[in-house]
Structure formats: structure tokens, C-alpha cells
Amino acid sequence: MSTDQHKQRAAEAALRFVEAGSVIGIGTGSTVNHFIDALARSDINIEGAVSSSEATTHWLKAVGIRVLELNTTGNLPLYVDGADEANRLLQLIKGGGGALTREKIIAAASQRFVCIADRAKLVERLGEFPLPIEVIPMARSFVARQLVKLGGQPELRADFTTDNGNQILDVRNLPLQEPIKLETELSLIPGVVTVGLFARRGADVLLLGDSTGVQEIRP
Ligand code: 5RP
């Protein structure tokens, strides 16, 4: 069984959290695309979805799911999204697809965050995956220097502009022993838009797919 099939299993398992007639938040990435496809195939009719990226909006519209604005929906009962890494406290690294800012906003506005991933994303300690940080373009070098002072090795994501018109620094070697503390510290650097650490608001449920089935983890 391939990693993609593991992702699909986790995505399908998230359907049981979706209530008919509700408006839900939807993240970005290949696992989420499986979730959207599974939702479209299911008999669960939702009122619509708040999308975390242009890519997801495109995918939702392609299967006939209405895309709504967070400004008009108010808070949401459910957010479903993937992750690049997750620990057992359900703290996450996200942003591999570059959609971290809108993802963090929708996660914050949602009552329950169900994270879907293949099992390989579960780690003992966050930080093997380089931490994505979205920055205002004119602050890129300044932010990079602050990250180096903290021990990080930032690298500009090449040929990439976020849906918000910003850039991404992918940062290796940051001290990630205390994810909540680091998320707070990095978020305070002027020019940082969003840090791809989802520790202060992590997931509420983690669904991990592998060749044996789907494991559910709660903090
Ligand atoms: C996008 C993300 C994704 O959730 C993360 O990159 C996982 O992607 P995939 O489901 O393709 O493995 O944070 O910004």
C-alpha cells in the first residue's frame, strides 16, 4: 500500500466528524484533496466550506461544494486539514503547501480541528521537517537574521509566492523542545506573518492512516 493510500484512509475516516447541513473549514494538500473527494462521493450534504487556499477552492468547486467566506459564516464547528509533522500532544508543523496563514486562521475559528495524515507524519519530536514561516517580502532578510540568532538555518522557498502575496522561509535547526514558547517568540518578530507551528492551537483529533487501518489519537 502506498503513502497516498494511507492518506486516503485517514481522509475517509474524517467523514464521520462531518455533520450534514453544516459549514466546515477545509485545509490544503494531497490528504485534504482525498477528503474533499470522499466528501463529494458520500451522502453527506454540507451547506458549504471555508477554504484555506486558492488550490483548495479550485478543488472544492470542481466537485460542486460551495465555497463560503469566513467573514460571513462566523466560527465553524469543524476544520479538517493535513500536517507535515505531528507529535503525540497533537502539536503540528504545517505549511509545506504554503497555505499556513489561512490554515491557522480557520483552525483558530473552529471548534474542533481534525488532522488527517499518513502514519509517517507522527514524530517523537517536531523539527525534522523544516519549519515554514510566511514573511512580508521587504522583511525577509531581517527576519532571516533574527532566525539565525536563534540557531535556525532559514532558506527562502524558491519561486513561491503565497496566496497572500508573501514569501516563505523554510527553517532548519530551530530549538523545538518547547513548541508553544517558540511559536510565540517567532510570531513576535516584526515581518513574520505566520509561523507554521500549530502548538498553541494544535489539533483535537489526529487520524493516522497506514496499511493496517486508521489510528485515532487525542491529546
Ligand atoms: C499545507 C499543509 C499541508 O497540510 C501539509 O503540507 C501536508 O500536505 P499533504 O497532505 O500533501 O502531505 O500544511 O500548507
Instruction: Write a three-state SS string for the chain.
Output: CCHHHHHHHHHHHHHHHCCCCCEEEECCCHHHHHHHHHHHHCCCCCCEEEECCHHHHHHHHHCCCCEECHHHHCCEEEEEECCCEECCCCCEECCCCCCHHHHHHHHHCEEEEEEEEEHHHECCCCCCCCEEEEECHHHHHHHHHHHHHCCCEEEECCCCCCCCCCEEEEEECCCCCCHHHHHHHHHCCCCEEEECEECCCCCCEEEEEECCEEEEECC
pLDDT of residue 219: 86
Residue of 6, 9, 31, 101 to test ligand 1 pocket, by largest number of atoms within 8 Å of CB: 31
pLDDT tens for each residue of 149-160: 999 999 999 999
Q: Ligand 1, atom 5: nearest CA belongs to which residue? A: 83
Is 185 labeled as catalytic in the residue annotation? no
pLDDT class for 188, splitting at 50, 70, 90? very high
**Average pLDDT of span 41-52:** 98
Q: Domain limits of the chain?
A: 3-122+200-217, 131-196
- How many angstroms does the Cα of residue 208 sit away from the middle of ligand 1? 14
Mean pLDDT of the chain, nearest integer: 98
Select from 3.40.640.10, 3.40.50.1360, 3.40.50.1100, 3.90.650.10 the CATH code of 3-122+200-217: 3.40.50.1360
pLDDT tens for each residue of 110-164: 999 999 999 999 999 999 999 999 999 999 999 999 999 999 999 999 999 999 9
Q: What is the CATH number of domain 131-196?
A: 3.30.70.260
Pocket of ligand 1 (CB under 6 A): 27-31, 81-84, 94-100, 103
